[in-house]
Chains A and B, each alone.
Chain A
Amino acid sequence: MTHPTLASRHVTPMHCSHLRHKGMYVTGDVTSEPNGFADDIDATSFWCVCTQKAFGPDGLPVTLEDCATGRSCCNHDAAEAT
């Protein structure tokens, strides 16, 4: 399973290939600040690349927890993702 997760500290292969957040396009070390600034309770907002909104094609919120295997619109098609 391959889709664009390389630059994300949130998105794993378990997640939908359509899940997006700022850090996937802003690939600098926004949060990996030297000297251990932990960012456990972070402010990340997520969106669906297909709807371009914070709600997915199934009309439900896009979240890191929900946009994973099992959701009806979840996509793991590597060919489509890349």
Chain B
Amino acid sequence: MADEQNPPAAPPPSGPARTWPPVADRALLGKPIRRIDGPDKSQGKAKYTYDIVRPGMLYGRLLSSPHPYAVVKSIDVTPALKVPGVKAAIALKDPAGPTAKIWYQGEEVAAVAATTEEAAEDAVRAIKVEYEILPALATVEQSMSANAPVNFPKGNVSAERLTLRPDKADVEAALKASAHIVEGTYSTQVQTHTSLETHGGICEWNGEKLTAWVSTQAVHATRDGLSRALQMQQSDVHVITDYMGGGFGSKLGPDVQVVIAAKLAKEAGAPVKLMLTRKEEHLITGNRPSAYAKVKAGVDAQGKLTAFDAETWGTGGAGQGAGFNIPYPVYAFGVLRQRHKDVFINAGPQRAMRAPGHPQACFITEVVVDELADRLRMDPLELRMRNLPPAGPDGQDLPTQQWRKYFPMAADKIGWSRRHATADTGSGPIKRGMGCAANRWAGGGSNRTRAACEILPDGGVVMRIGTQDIGTGTRTLVAMITAETMGLPLTAVKAAIGDSEYPWAPGSGGSTTVGSISPTVRIAAENARDALFAKVAPSLRVEPAALVAKDGRVQVKDNPAKGMTWKEACRLLGVQPISADGAWQQGLSSSGTSGVQFADVEVDIETGITRVKRVVCVQDCGMIVDRITAESQVYGGIIMGIGFALFEHRILDRNTAKMVNPNMEFYLLPGMSDIPEIDITLIDQPERGPVGLGEPPTISTAAAIANAIANATGARVRSLPLTPAAVLAALHEERSGGTR
């Protein structure tokens, strides 16, 4: 059944088939259009949740547990209430109840609201908490150890999950028959969420009704979450997200801190703003789980991949899984087996992070493929080309599997023919190398998406849709599609988004936004425009179907001189605007993307420092709506991939399980000087309609960089991040007998 969070899927269309305008007729779609909110953002006029100040607003702060594993024996918040300016203080753990246990550092123990941030911080320090500190598990090795304390209800390690393809495949026999085998252990680190804007919101009560300004990727999910957590009617909750500073999968609801803000606001009788600190952000807002894989893979003498056998594990922190599928499904291994276990430790639980599971799986698989090519003494690009999925019956690759075309394009751009066959044997400590990797993603839209369009008598157009712009340019896309449909300039359209009282749209995640909103906005705009045509047609003495909207006019298709300006047409409405709804329909968007990335790196073999000189990317995303925002997605994805490859790493003290780098000083992200030349070739597939692009470009960057480092140095680093220490260790191992 359907409910508010899951409205019913759109019924089959009953009217004419919906289409996008022919490419030659497009005034805006597919063009490089600057963001309509760019000036407001660059001038500080755009108000993010962090910027919002409500009259009489208080500042909320959390008291977070300093201990990763403990039991709260007592909490006394009364000293906090004596701090001048403090208006509310609440305990969030019940020492006598089932929630007394602390599972990870940073867990919320109590919260306060005060007239100033300083008073709130003083009040947090005044709260008295007694903990019984328990021995915490800091690493997967500790948790998997036979003599480890059992800290989790069903044990520290989950039951094994198995994938075997094809069914009853004899993986060991296939490996035995292989001409060459690669065997090794590969790993990727925990990457914490580090959105520019931290998690949080402002909650304001008006009687029993709640308005919440929240930094969220999903206004409707946040309404659902607040209403359930606070036991309210959804209709009494109003969520607003005008602008937000990134989420990457970690902001798909109100989260605990916004619920706490609402409780504090109720207690204090005033609006409360509670935004997490950067330290809390690292500790409690989720992360990309670690991944470990003991792999044995084979190839025959002709370069045909034969078998992939993996024992995998990883940690999603306290109580959450760490799944990922290998081999990454680009290359056709003959048979495959994966046996996976989740390992639990006393650290913040994982959450979705940009392409969950994919970068880890891509890294492991693409490095293994490179190593198999080394065994064969074959160009790794050639090995990849030989093992792509077979073409369809018509001899063509599927539109979602275009790697056979993209690999040579990218190779040509980066100058693959100049790549060293093995390591850079040139003189001096700086070694140069190239590597490559592929990606894939789904990115289709939701058939539950709705929009509402208004054409006003003064010529104004408003498109309302309950999506949100998480920094990707969604507001601009809504305006572009509406303006294109109405034949108007972009400035004539108001894109109204980021409000739970607008028609339902899915959370912005999984690269599904563009595939959800584009068809829906197009249809709502067409419905409104066609209603205007019906009003205008009699005065022009033509049928409505004879009219088009173009260049700011409503005119007869075959006789453009016969018509009127858009404003003149809208004046015919009198005092009553046109209101038209739109529901997503199939055929205006697609699912499935493919892409490749090549990296060109320099490695200083004396310091181990890697500098990425250039990344070349060939990526498709169906029909490009706005070339600038699409390219921005790729830039962002690659930069995030560089962070995953070289820098980002949650480090826990092995004795205490406390994070030693919960800040922006020692948790490293790429800075301006770390960002290479990024060469993007976006493949437009106008016949497919839009497909999401947020995730795919971040998937293959780390793998391409790792393979480039091996090509530069002759030493293989099988673990992320590719730090100077890791590179030097691999070089040392290579000199001592080999990493290959």
Contacts and interface: CB of A to CB of B under 8 A. Distances in A.
Interface of A: 2-4, 6-7, 18, 20, 22-35, 37-47, 49-55, 57-63, 66, 81-82
Given A4-B5, A32-B442, A33-B592, A43 B401 contact: no
B228 A49 contact: yes
B323 interface: yes
B100 A22 contact: no
B470 to A, nearest CB: 12
A62 to B, nearest CB: 7
Contact of A59 (B99, B349, B515): B99
B440 A4 contact: no
13 contacts: A25-B506, A26-B218, A26-B252, A26-B506, A30-B442, A32-B442, A33-B441, A33-B442, A41-B163, A45-B320, A57-B98, A59-B101, A61-B319
A42 B323 contact: yes
B666 to A, nearest CB: 26
A49 B249 contact: no
Nearest to A28: B512
A33 to B, nearest CB: 4
Contacts of A44: 321, 323, 356
8 closest residue pairs by CB, A with B: A61-B319, A28-B512, A30-B510, A43-B357, A25-B221, A43-B356, A59-B98, A25-B507
Contacts of B506: 25-28
B255 A52 contact: yes
B136 to A, nearest CB: 16
A45 B400 contact: no
Given A26-B507, A29-B442, A42-B357, A52 B225 contact: yes
B338 interface: yes
Interface in B466-517: 506-512, 515-516
B634 to A, nearest CB: 19
A47 to B, nearest CB: 7
B1 interface: yes
B658 interface: no
B398 A41 contact: no
Contacts of B101: 59
B312 to A, nearest CB: 8
Contacts of A30: 442, 509-512
A30 to B, nearest CB: 4
Contacts of A81: 3
Given A33-B591, A53-B256, A25 B5 contact: yes
Interface in B250-304: 252-256, 258-259, 286, 289
B206 interface: no
Contacts of A4: 3, 5-6
Contact of B1 (A6, A37, A40, A55): A6
Contacts of B507: 22, 25-26
B319 A54 contact: yes
B711 to A, nearest CB: 28
Nearest to B516: A28
B598 interface: no
Contacts of B447: 27
Interface in B71-116: 97-101, 103
Interface string B432-446: 000000001111111
